[in-house]
Amino acid sequence: MTCLSGNNCMVKHTAVMGVQWGDEGKGKIVDALSPEHDVVVRYCGGANAGHTVVVNGAKFALHLVPSGVLRSGKVCVLANGMVVDPDALAQEIFMLAENYGLIYVSDRAHVVLQRHKDEDAAEEQKTSIGTTKKGIGPCYRDKIYRKGLRFCDDWKNHFNLHTQHYVGSLITDTRKLLQEFLDANKKILFEGGQGALLDIDHGTYPYVTSSSTGVGGIYTGTGICPKELKVIGVMKAYTTRVGGGPFPTEQLLSVGNYLREKGKEFGTTTGRPRRCGWFDGVSAKYAVQVNGVDEIALTKLDVLSGLDEILACTSYDVRESITSYKIVKTINDSIPANVVDFASITPHYLAVEGWKKDISKVRCVEDLPKQARHYIEVLETLVDRPITYVGVGQEREQLIRRS
Ligand code: IMP
């Protein structure tokens, strides 16, 4: 291959991002891939994220610090595209105790202030977005409106000495730092926040978060341009969503309750019960296309064990209007731009046979029941990408490599 990109063309960097509505299990995949990388970077969002990593039975719920922090020797970067609540970051670093290495925060990242959180909570009374109330929207609004406060500004006098102490020493020019890593052929892992369908541009607007959660966010959110990037899309074997907005495959009765209880589908950040439903191959394929996903990490397949039958959505019938039954088209790789149109689509499903065996102890794909292997193949066909990892439980070891 001809090198057009300067000195980092031989190094393949990795991006891990959700291709649903968040909570896909990105933390587990980032944790698994961290040993092969030198640096782990978050480039979007803030403390609205909740990445859970379980190490030897100990559960770490991370909101701001990249999940790679739990692998010793990794450099973790909170880059300029993030909005960072210094109090929350100080608490997280305190919680990690001795379990963390080098953490850096961009001097260009925007600071979430108490007034942002207050405003977010007050707005939530009036809308049905269902935000995490972490001040994300108001802080990004101030950024776009050019009146935000950054870590290169006089942020300290808004916070107590404890926070100033924990966070103050981490602030640096992370763009320059990351460029130096690129130039030294170090491998960088980009950890997406939320999910592709919550992206401000490509998600189910206005039921989205306020940042660019996808691949585009990597470039603006870090200030570096990795030329060789492998994108791993993370998706659950079913679908969940927190907060408001369209969710065509949502199951409000027994299946939804089963998935919620068995999958422990309660928000890491807010504790809210997540809405649950069947796998949606249409929105996932759309998200895969938008982000140039190369391969898929499928998580929580174990949650489906015990079901007699499993459904996967293969296409949507788009109706003329919410009050009309006239079908104007059938789609399988995009989502309607307008949420009212989206809410009125009719999903079509493929039903596959379930399996009874507990698969949480399975470590190679051949040992999975044939029905589970078939389901994986169905999902691969729907999103048109290979599934290379399969998660069968929360623990680090409960991940099958499938090539
Ligand atoms: P915000 O990001 O707190 O402004 O919330 C906007 C929307 O994104 C709400 O529907 C939230 O529930 C959703 N959201 C934000 N962060 C996450 C996440 O990490 N996982 C799942 N949903 C999220």
**What residue spans of 240-369 are helical by DSSP H?**
254-262, 281-290, 339-343
Cα dihedral sign, 27-32-33-38: positive
Rounded to whole angstroms, the Cα distance separating 392 from 28 reads 11
Integer angstrom CA distances of residue 335 from 129, 289, 344, 383: 19, 12, 11, 14
Length of the chain: 403
Could you report the per-residue pLDDT of 189-207, keeping only the tens digit for each?
Answer: 999 999 999 999 999 999 9
Task: Kindly report the protein residue whose alpha carbon is nearest to atom 20 of ligand 1.
Answer: 22
Q: How far, in Å, from the CA of 207 to the mean position of ligand 1?
A: 9
296 — pLDDT class (breaks 50, 70, 90): very high
Could you report the per-residue pLDDT of 381-392, keeping only the tens digit for each?
Answer: 999 999 999 999
96 — pLDDT class (breaks 50, 70, 90): confident
Burial status of residue 146 (CB atoms within 10 A of its CB: 0-12, 13-18, 19 or more)? exposed
Residue with the two structure tokens 């060789």: 228
Task: Kindly report the protein residue whose alpha carbon is nearest to atom 11 of ligand 1.
Answer: 131
**Mean of all residue pLDDT scores within the chain:** 93
Q: How far, in Å, from the CA of 213 to the mean position of ligand 1?
A: 11
Q: How far, in Å, from the CA of 242 to the mean position of ligand 1?
A: 7
9 — pLDDT class (breaks 50, 70, 90): very low
Residue of 48, 84, 128, 275 to test ligand 1 pocket, by largest number of atoms within 8 Å of CB: 48
Active site (annotated) includes residue 107: no
Could you report the per-residue pLDDT of 241-263, keeping only the tens digit for each?
Answer: 999 999 999 999 999 999 999 99
Q: What is the pLDDT of residue 100?
A: 67
> Between helices 114-124 and 136-144, what is the axis angle to 10°?
110
99 — pLDDT class (breaks 50, 70, 90): low
Residue with the two structure tokens 């489906």: 304
**Cα 401 from chain centroid?**
20
- Is a pLDDT exceeding 90 seen at residue 238? yes
In the set 13, 23, 87, 120, the catalytic residue is 23
- Is a pLDDT exceeding 60 seen at residue 104? yes
Tell me the two tokens of residue 161.
Answer: 């000495």
Residue of 42, 242, 269 to test ligand 1 pocket, by largest number of atoms within 8 Å of CB: 242
Asked if residues 51 and 92 have their Cβ atoms less than 8 Å apart, the reply is no
- Is a pLDDT exceeding 70 seen at residue 11? no
DSSP 38: S
What percent of the chain stands above pLDDT 90? Answer: 83
- Is a pLDDT exceeding 70 seen at residue 2? no
Could you report the per-residue pLDDT of 140-157, keeping only the tens digit for each?
Answer: 999 999 999 999 999 999
Could you report the per-residue pLDDT of 347-374, keeping only the tens digit for each?
Answer: 999 999 999 999 999 999 999 999 999 9
Active site (annotated) includes residue 85: no
Q: What is the pLDDT of residue 326?
A: 87
**Cβ of 209 less than 6 Å from ligand 1:** yes
